[in-house]
Every structure is written in structure tokens, then in C-alpha cells.
Amino acid sequence: MRTVLVLTLSTLVATAAAAGPTKKEVRILRDASAVVETLMATPDKSIPVDLLQRAECIGVFPGVAKGAFGVGGEYGRGVVSCRSADGRMDAPAFYSIGGGSIGFQIGGSSTDIVFLVMNPDGMKHLVADRFALGGEASAAAGPVGRTAHAATDVQLQAQILSWSRSRGLFAGVSLDGAVVKTSEEANQRLYGKETSAKTILIEHKKQVPEAARKFVQVIRKHTARPAGSEAGK
């Protein structure tokens, strides 16, 4: 009886994964693409291009409810992509973000969150089930503008830089205390089988799925490094 139950549960999990991403997950990918395109449409009020070129990974969390950044709040959801050996951002993984006590920094009922992982040490945190920004991973509010020439030492040394956009206003935001967690079930649906963040983001063993192609195209365009560049190395 126990064997039958285990086999039944395994069959249900496999069937759910084969069904592909949910409508909400497809919408997250679509909205994440739109967030990046909108932010980069105004260079003087966007993420500095040189930071995008240096970044090892990018995370985009569209429409995160303000209530997610509080004790007991429901986590917002988004996607993270990291560079592969050819220097381009690769297949993404779903994550959630929330917790902490930073809601007071955010105007309006929701906000778009973008963060950049700036070095290999920051990347290591992405393979954990969960990690705290400002705790396990050093983090700082990112600078805004065409270049990062005015960035502070704290910003330049942080493993992760973050920004938010709410009511059309874009600014660096400190996410200290916020917790980032891998969305294992969403990743399983996206790739059709059980997989890990390490397999997707670090080992790059997954092809970009159809549902994520637009998102990957957009972030590749805005994070492309100059030919021959060793940025981030």
C-alpha cells in the first residue's frame, strides 16, 4: 500500500511538471521583461550600464506587494539569471523575495525590484535554499544614472546591489533583512523535471525554455559586455 502511495505521488508530481509553467509564472516572466525594458528606456534614471556589464547575475521581481516586506508578509516572486561561460545571461530560475522591514521605503501598494549580483561570492548564495540580504549576502542600494562613477565604496564592495520602481519613480533601495528563496516547484514546472538552482544558474545545464526566451533576450541586450571585455572577472 505504501509503495502504491509513493508511486501515485511521484506520478502526480511528474504530471504537474510536464504541464509546464502556470499562467502566473508565464506572466512573471513577461512582466520581468517589461520591467527591464522600461527601466533602461531612460538612461539618466536607470541602472548604470557599467554595472550591468560587470554583473554576474540579475534578478527581477515585478509587482511585489508592499506587504511582502514585513513580518509574515506573502513573498513576491521573480526570476534570476546568471552568465554562462560565453559571458551571456543564461536560463533563469524562479525565486521569491520578502520579509525584513523595508516596506516603509516603498511608495504605493507594490513595487518592481531589481538586483544585480556583482561577484562570484554573491553567486554562491543563490544555490542555497534561502539567504538573507545584508546577512549572509552583503547588499547595498544601487546608484542611478548612466555610469557608476559616483558610486560609494559600500556600493562598489557589495555582493548585491538593488533598486526599486514604484509609481514611476526609480531609485536604489536597501533590501537588508529581506529573504530570497528558491522556488523549487516553479522551476520544476518551467523545466519539466526536478532541478536545482545550481544546475540552472551555476552549472548551466538547462536550455532556455520557450516561456523564458523573451526575458533572456531582453536581459542579454542590456547586460551585454563589450567584445573582449573581462568585466566582472
Other C-beta atoms lying within 10 Å of the C-beta of residue 197: 21
Which three cell numbers mark 139? Answer: 547588499
141 phi and psi, to 5 degrees? -65, 135
Query: Residue 43's pLDDT band (boundaries 50, 70, 90)?
Result: confident
Q: What is the pLDDT averaged over residues 112-127?
A: 93
Q: Tell whether the model's pLDDT for residue 232 goes beyond 70.
A: no
Q: Which regions of 14-104 does DSSP assign to beta strands (E)?
A: 57-65, 76-82, 93-98
Other C-beta atoms lying within 10 Å of the C-beta of residue 61: 28
Alpha-carbon distance of 210 to 91, in angstroms, equals 10
Domain ranges within the chain, ordered by starting residue: 21-223
Q: What is the pLDDT averaged over residues 46-61?
A: 95
Q: Which residue has the higher pLDDT, 101 or 75?
A: 75
Only one residue has cell 526570476, namely: 79
Global pTM reads 0.86
Query: Residue 104's pLDDT band (boundaries 50, 70, 90)?
Result: very low
Which three cell numbers mark 159? Answer: 555582493
pLDDT digits 0-9 by tens, 191-206 = 999 999 999 999 999 9
Query: Residue 5's pLDDT band (boundaries 50, 70, 90)?
Result: very low
Alpha-carbon distance of 197 to 231, in angstroms, equals 24
Among 49-58, 151-160, 196-205, the range scoring the smallest mean pLDDT is 151-160
Which three cell numbers mark 34? Answer: 517589461
